[in-house]
Structure 1
């Protein structure tokens, strides 16, 4: 069989990934098919298969492209500032792309050898090393931050997709306020804080708590 030749000069892998992200944003993972992609790009399936083998590869590449764009460029800031910038970049990306939280979890658990997990671990892990954390603790400290960032941002995005943020928080707060005061005094007490809290502010406070724990543990 003769070697494959390029089917089209106008279609690039980057354009395919860009169109895939657009479809994911508007229709979710279920709406991303090679048929819808060929229609959006006004091309044939063969031209797409030249660049991307299957849907799994397309999802991986789309996820990596969004993460790469979300991560900030290196700067002269402190390690703490750099970690906060990475965290906020991922938080905002997950908020902007509702499908991203699920795909990030999939990439970390089912495809850790792919491009996404190393990209995120590198962005945070370098700063963990710069904080003076001993090498034997790099993976643990970095993993804690990665799971906090993706878990918290993903939970926030899921809640906002299902309903409006205000309605969701109000419903939960009212259910907490109606709990048995003897069995749930703390939960009832923080119900008002739940209703009025700022997700972004709380997210950054959590990053600071984790960083405080990391630096205190290894302050020697």
Structure 2
């Protein structure tokens, strides 16, 4: 009787913390925080929940690690900047785009203000605030205001994107919203009606940077004056 040839065993990629975090980010992107369970993660990784617990103690640690992984890539995005303002622009846009791509991190960052992900962004913003020549007494206020603006606008932009009806593109959505503004009562909403056209045509990232520059203009106004050159 002919013997049946044995099929070679497929070598599986070893389970590591990095693989687990990468899979968690993918699951969060598709299913949100509620969809991130160790059962779902185990199915995605073709392993058992116990093997995951060997690397991660629980869901909170996993959420922090996933957020840290996304933010770490963002923080490195401003390395090529040549001035403090350019560095803040690059870092802010990095966080803005990261929240747009991974809406769950906006909530997660603000939920853990004393932990690594938000501290990393705050630290790098603070260094650039200091490089702008802002007095030490205003460092905390300036960096905190910038961080609140970045996270707030980034989170709102992501929420707006999720609120668009399926099958409706951004242009159609903004056109409908602008039309609604134009139809408002002219006495009660005089200002809102006057900027309806700007709502229809605006670019989210450009508006985000324009608002950031308003903050930076105020912050740089606090700059400590330099001593005038002493005449020779």
Cα pair 1:63 1:103 within 8 Å, conserved: yes
Q: Which residue of structure 2 lines up, in the alignment, with residue 191 of structure 1? A: 196
Relative distance call for 1:219 and 1:56 in structure 2 (3 A) is same
Q: For residues 117 and 160 of structure 1, what CA distance do their matches in structure 2 show?
A: 23
- Displacement, 1:101? 2.0
Q: For residues 50 and 171 of structure 1, what CA distance do their matches in structure 2 show?
A: 51
* 1:134 lines up with 2:135 in the alignment: yes
Q: Which residue of structure 2 lines up, in the alignment, with residue 68 of structure 1? A: 72
Q: Which residue of structure 1 lines up, in the alignment, with residue 113 of structure 2? A: 112
- TM-align CA RMSD: 1.7
Q: Which residue of structure 2 lines up, in the alignment, with residue 174 of structure 1? A: 179
Runs of 4+ aligned residues of structure 1 deviating over 6 Å after TM superposition are none
Q: For residues 30 and 124 of structure 1, what CA distance do their matches in structure 2 show?
A: 31
Q: For residues 162 and 171 of structure 1, what CA distance do their matches in structure 2 show?
A: 14
Moved more, 43-52 or 94-103: 94-103
Instruction: Provide Cα deviations, 1:102-134, integer angstroms capped at 9, x if missing partner.
Output: 22222xxxx222111210101111000000011
Q: For residues 150 and 113 of structure 2, what CA distance do their matches in structure 1 show?
A: 17
Q: Which residue of structure 2 lines up, in the alignment, with residue 22 of structure 1? A: 26
**Structure 2 length as normaliser, TM-score?**
0.85
* 1:37 lines up with 2:41 in the alignment: yes
- Displacement, 1:53? 1.1
Relative distance call for 1:128 and 1:33 in structure 2 (3 A) is same
Cα pair 2:142 2:219 within 8 Å, conserved: yes
Relative distance call for 1:87 and 1:172 in structure 2 (3 A) is same
Cα pair 2:29 2:104 within 8 Å, conserved: yes
Q: For residues 137 and 96 of structure 1, what CA distance do their matches in structure 2 show?
A: 32
Instruction: Provide Cα deviations, 1:45-104, integer angstroms capped at 9, x if missing partner.
Output: 111111111111111110111000122253351000000000011111111112222222
* 1:147 lines up with 2:148 in the alignment: yes
Alignment gaps of 5+ in structure 1: 1-7
Moved more, 93-102 or 184-193: 93-102
Q: For residues 113 and 185 of structure 1, what CA distance do their matches in structure 2 show?
A: 43
Instruction: Provide Cα deviations, 1:109-168, integer angstroms capped at 9, x if missing partner.
Output: xx2221112101011110000000111111100011111111111111111112143333
Q: Which residue of structure 1 lines up, in the alignment, with residue 205 of structure 2? A: 200
SS at match of 1:217: coil
Q: For residues 133 and 222 of structure 2, what CA distance do their matches in structure 1 show?
A: 11
Q: For residues 76 and 202 of structure 1, what CA distance do their matches in structure 2 show?
A: 21
- Displacement, 1:175? 2.1
SS at match of 2:185: coil
Alignment gaps of 5+ in structure 2: 1-11, 226-232
Give the total of aligned pairs: 209
More helix by share: 1
